Structure 1
Amino acid sequence: MTTNPIDAVLFDFSGTLFRLEQDETWLDGLTDVHGDPLDIEAQAELMRRMTAPVGQVVELSDEYLHAWHHRDLDPDLHRKVYLEVLRRSGVPRVEQAKALYDRLVDPEQWTPYPDTEAALKAAAGRGLTVGVLSNIAFDIRPAFGQRGLDAYVDEFVLSYEVGAIKPQPEIFHTALDRLGVAAEHTLMVGDSEEADGGARAVGCAFALVEPLPTTERPDALLAALRDHGVLDPTG
């Protein structure tokens, strides 16, 4: 429970408000180096590697390692390194890797969690300032706009636009400045203790949610808001 009153909530994007979840057509015809279809386990691992918020997911050369560490600051580096990640993850055909990458960076392909709208609407409806703070190399605003969720978001702070990534304090300070709120009255909600939890270092409260499939996480966002006094216990 947060001791200071909360005036603003910052939400992470991937694994927090939205999740990249493939439908059954995504991997149709996808084959490994031997020309065999990828099995279910391989498909699941591929999706994990495409969306992992932190940590190096495959062995990379120095050239690609630099791109990996800077991927959320530069769209070109993001594309370069993820095509290499896909290649090293068993997708050797360039055209297949490019097709998968295009889905990764298409905001329309991302699925909101069941309580995303309710959480954003509840926070905004109580007069709180709401921001989305994401380590990302493409514009996620259309994912919100096409569902009318942008009406509840005051600011989008995206790493590739501001030149800093979580957990660097600079990106949190940028978000707080844009929202016009003090850190001690701000709650950060995210799925990564390492990245999103960096909000604690600048004085924010932090709530961790698990990046589970959307069907397995119906109300974690609302629970986080309740736990920190943003919503009533029965709200």
Structure 2
Amino acid sequence: MSSVGSTTPSSRSSGSRPRRAFPPTATFRPRSLPRAPCRVERLGILPGMIRAVLFDAAGTLIETREPVGGVYARHARKHGVEISARRLGEAFARVFEAAPPLVFPGLGTEERGEQERGWWRARVHETFRAADSAQRPDDFEALFEGLWRHFSDPGEWKTRRDAAETLVRLRAQEIQTGVVSNFDGRLPGILGGLGLLSLLDTVVLPADAGAAKPDPRIFAMALERLAVRPEDSIFVGNDAQRDLAGARAAGLRAVDATALATLADLPLTTTGSTAP
């Protein structure tokens, strides 16, 4: 989830989900051609010929440095609203769970960015109404702008422990890596600021696929870009429905990131031929 820019309810601490100064919305394309497959051994998954490992973003590879509720509460106080971080965090989680997909098909980059920003503005408004409908900020637009900028800053995010090292290990085994996220167009900028973008072969967002997880189309676009089959791929995510059930419905094997102490707990063992 995110919170005006993250896609995790309490920093997921979980995104989208989305929080950055106005997004660099350029579509991210695969950097390289498919590589030869290697065998990868995973928690609870029988070894098989794996050619790609895809990840969710917020809550799996990255997370906010401060819980969403705490950020909302701090910014709200500047505008005359006193609501606890706990109540705001819980309200955000409910609002995010019920929100429509962040999908705006048929729009150009600039117009889509405006629509994504408007989507987040609506979620922030709903969050404060759900937390305490009796309180109103003295300047909602300024409150929203402050939240948008906060979550747009890569410095307000951090990588999950061993995330970069895990991506490096996968690539060392000639396994392609990518992100499939329900985040908005700011995500590539955040991943770049955290040093992860160069370790990924593709980043697929709802704006690219015209669909959001758990819709199989967003997974299919990532597989198409990497030229790999679902059965040769693994998806690592933290949301039971959007990530795990969605990936399985699309034919991928799924790993629950919440079951891992760190991403290094995905043991990688090359056991087979690396020939195509």
TM-score of Structure 1 vs Structure 2, range by shorter chain: 0.7 to 0.9
Structure 1 contact 105–138 (Cα < 8 Å) conserved? no
Could you tell me which residue of structure 1 aligns to residue 150 of structure 2? 103
Q: How much does 1:14 deviate?
A: 0.9
Q: Specify whether residues 92 and 36 from structure 1 end up closer, same or farther in structure 2 by C-alpha distance, changes over 3 A only.
A: closer
Could you tell me which residue of structure 2 aligns to residue 115 of structure 1? 162
**What CA distance in whole angstroms lies between the structure 2 residues aligned with 1:40 and 1:157?**
32
Q: How much does 1:87 deviate?
A: 2.8
Q: Secondary structure at the match of 2:76?
A: coil
Measured against aligned partners, the alpha-carbon deviations of 1:195-229 in whole angstroms (never above 9, x if no partner) come to: 11211122211001229xxxxx751x222x22xxx
Q: Specify whether residues 38 and 86 from structure 1 end up closer, same or farther in structure 2 by C-alpha distance, changes over 3 A only.
A: same
Q: How much does 1:141 deviate?
A: 1.3
Q: Specify whether residues 92 and 205 from structure 1 end up closer, same or farther in structure 2 by C-alpha distance, changes over 3 A only.
A: same
| Alignment RMSD | 2.9
The partner residue of 2:207 within 160, 182, 185 is 160
Could you tell me which residue of structure 2 aligns to residue 201 of structure 1? 249
Could you tell me which residue of structure 1 aligns to residue 51 of structure 2? 7
**What CA distance in whole angstroms lies between the structure 1 residues aligned with 2:82 and 2:212?**
36
Structure 2 contact 102–206 (Cα < 8 Å) conserved? no
Q: Secondary structure at the match of 1:19?
A: strand
Structure 2 contact 235–252 (Cα < 8 Å) conserved? yes
Could you tell me which residue of structure 2 aligns to residue 75 of structure 1? 116
Structure 2 contact 55–178 (Cα < 8 Å) conserved? yes
Which segment is superposed worse, 138-147 or 173-182? Answer: 138-147
Alignment partner of 1:150 is 2:200: no
Could you tell me which residue of structure 2 aligns to residue 174 of structure 1? 221
Q: How much does 1:27 deviate?
A: 4.2
The partner residue of 1:45 within 90, 110, 133 is 90
Q: How much does 1:16 deviate?
A: 0.5
The partner residue of 2:258 within 210, 221, 227 is 210
Q: Secondary structure at the match of 1:136?
A: coil
Structure 1 contact 133–157 (Cα < 8 Å) conserved? yes
Could you tell me which residue of structure 2 aligns to residue 92 of structure 1? 136
Structure 2 contact 72–88 (Cα < 8 Å) conserved? no
TM-score normalised by L of structure 2: 0.65
Measured against aligned partners, the alpha-carbon deviations of 1:60-93 in whole angstroms (never above 9, x if no partner) come to: xxxxxxxx31335451442242232233134732
Which segment is superposed worse, 131-140 or 38-47? Answer: 38-47
Could you tell me which residue of structure 1 aligns to residue 239 of structure 2? 192
**What CA distance in whole angstroms lies between the structure 1 residues aligned with 2:175 and 2:184?**
27
TM-score normalised by L of structure 1: 0.75
**What CA distance in whole angstroms lies between the structure 2 residues aligned with 1:84 and 1:25?**
15
Q: Specify whether residues 139 and 27 from structure 1 end up closer, same or farther in structure 2 by C-alpha distance, changes over 3 A only.
A: same
Q: Specify whether residues 199 and 14 from structure 1 end up closer, same or farther in structure 2 by C-alpha distance, changes over 3 A only.
A: same
**What CA distance in whole angstroms lies between the structure 2 residues aligned with 1:81 and 1:36?**
18
Which segment is superposed worse, 96-105 or 23-32? Answer: 23-32
Question: Identity over the aligned pairs, expressed in percent?
Answer: 25
The count of residues paired between Structure 1 and Structure 2 equals 207
Structure 1 contact 83–101 (Cα < 8 Å) conserved? no
Alignment partner of 1:21 is 2:52: no
Q: How much does 1:21 deviate?
A: 3.1
**What CA distance in whole angstroms lies between the structure 2 residues aligned with 1:108 and 1:159?**
24
Q: Specify whether residues 142 and 108 from structure 1 end up closer, same or farther in structure 2 by C-alpha distance, changes over 3 A only.
A: farther
Q: Secondary structure at the match of 2:63?
A: strand
Q: How much does 1:40 deviate?
A: 4.1
Which residue type is aligned with residue 125 of structure 1? A
